[in-house]
Structure 1
Amino acid sequence: MNGHGGEEQTAFEIGFVVPKKAVEQEDEKYDCVEVLVDEFRKAGLIVDRVVGLNDEFIKLAAPLETLGKAAAELQLKKRTHIGVDLQFEWDGAEAFVRQPDGSLFSWCERFHSYQHIINGIVNKSKFVVTLKSNSKEVRWEPKEPLLRKLQSDGIVKEVFPLHDETKRKQLLRSWALKWRDFTNQPIDEICSYFGMKIATYFDFLGMYTRWMLFPAAFGLTLQLVDFRSMQFLVLPVFFISVISWAVLFLQFWKRQNSVLLARWQINYPVETEPGYKFLEMEWRSFQSPVELMRRWGMEKSKEKEVFQREEWFGHLMRFRNDAIVILSIICLQLPFELAYAHLYEAIRSGFMK
């Protein structure tokens, strides 16, 4: 138990690739890899080392408290339960909203916290420390980040994020291997694990797949059914139907995208301003309550008029844009479709058809 809202499992999330020791050194106190691992542990990280054939792999995990303190030092802003974004504080972690999977931080926030912890490992002494790695010497200057120094000298070959096997298997069961309802996706879990862009992409694919059932079924019906004397109207009707379907799909996707943005991205910044606020107005000692209420009523009526005007203007612009799109597509493609339908009926040869 972490004591801040529940239990959160610690998983290895960052990996490093360093060269494997060629020979055992007499004094491992100044070995580059040993110093790096020791500094990671001093910073509160959990370290696991895996020796491969040619290289050694270092995996890092961080307890929730370590990430929370790093997030507080970074002054990250998180959503609270009252719907306002405030600067994160570890002592008040219960006041902040958790992710859909129950974790306190998203992967982006965890990555920034890891980056802050790792890049915060510097030479705190006033002297140059000489490190060794397979008979190669590295001079660690005062106040120089250790990781950047080892990367520039080729000691640390790669730094990359690791999969969380527990969450990955959960996504496999609830998403990738779910065949019955393949258009229903755990978007919140995808967003928590892969990020907002990938989650938005898959949400678009799911909605597009569901909506494609309508033109597919309609087109199959028109292809199989013989309308006899009304056959010449089939292609124009299908053409206009597909255009209408595309316009409706675009509008409904805009609504769905707005829902996703409201769920994941809308911020409510809190700014510190002098004086107190009463009904979104500054309270001044020389203003009477009657005057304040009168001013508040006038400003509210003005805001309402502006909002209504902008709302109607938005509806008008949306209607105009949709009309322009539909008319332009019809004017450009309808003559070709009508000509094709006429030629199809005029040609008697089955081979030409």
Structure 2
Amino acid sequence: MVSTLDDAIVTQSQRPLLGMNQSELTAWVQAQGQPAYRGKQLHQWVYDKGVRSLADITVFPKNWRQAMEKVSIGRSVIHYRSVAADETVKFLLRLDDGQIIETVGMPTEKRLTVCVSSQVGCPMACDFCATGKGGLVRNLATHEIVDQVLTVQAAFEQRVSNIVFMGMGEPLINAQNVVAAVKCLNHDIGIGQRSITISTVGIPGQIRRLAKHQLQVTLAVSLHGSNQSLRTQLIPSAQQYQLTDLLDECREYVAVTGRRVTFEYILLAGLNDSEVHAAELAQLLRGFQSHVNLIPYNPISEVDYQRPSRKRVNQFTNSLKASGIAVSVRYSRGLEKDAACGQLRASKIEP
């Protein structure tokens, strides 16, 4: 039971306003002695206008704004940004505790896609990925995930159309906050769930748990190997999660949600890009309601893998198509600015 206005501020500052829905914001303003209609105003300023401080909400009484100045909306600070030749922008965002995360805005003629992070760092240690080289620091809170989308939206002065959870971290290790963020992005910002993709390397039992939420998002599962031995070589955590068990869980996901699964497969020259590997992959996925997304490797300095030639990529693609597998190739954007798939890392570059 709070006894003073200052106590109310201290209590509420423990949970930033970003991430709350309109009903929660309305309850909050009423708890501060304000009329209920200010909840709708607050919701509009937080999500539609992307306000960073209650002091900037000019429709609120000045004295109340001043009294609420310690209340956190939950916005990050842009620590650094870089722009690639294809207009992809990589943002380093500084959080309240000083940690740095990355998010990427990828514009096209008709879309603005945001690649969001779900953790500071990543525990999965995939051999070809820069993010996992530094290990995991912590999960991101719901507001820290939603903030990334608002940051990109403001920077581009354009509404975000698509979101991919393919930045730093393994989303299903932070499933509670990721699901909450998806619901907030959908209900409060207005981004359709079918325009949101959650990517995972596969955590035992977590795909099954995700299915129970009945989200309409796209599930993207990172395979990267056409057999258990090869996959374990590239993804150390796969040693505890057999490929057959992962695929069984994916089939359950399809059955429960009615949504097909996308399988991501990074092509590494001379390692997993032969026609034998394509045939193995086709055999694994035959009869599966799925789509394969091939990603030619994006180089990082820590390892010596190579990107296959376009000829080899086309051969692999055509082999899958000949086996009746739905497939497409994604050449990542922002490559020269280390903003492409697998290149993200928390680097405290001084602006």
Q: State the TM bucket, normalised to the shorter chain.
A: under 0.3
- TM-score (normalizing by structure 2): 0.21
- TM-score (normalizing by structure 1): 0.21
More strand by share: 2
Q: Which has the larger radius of gyration?
A: 1
More helix by share: 1
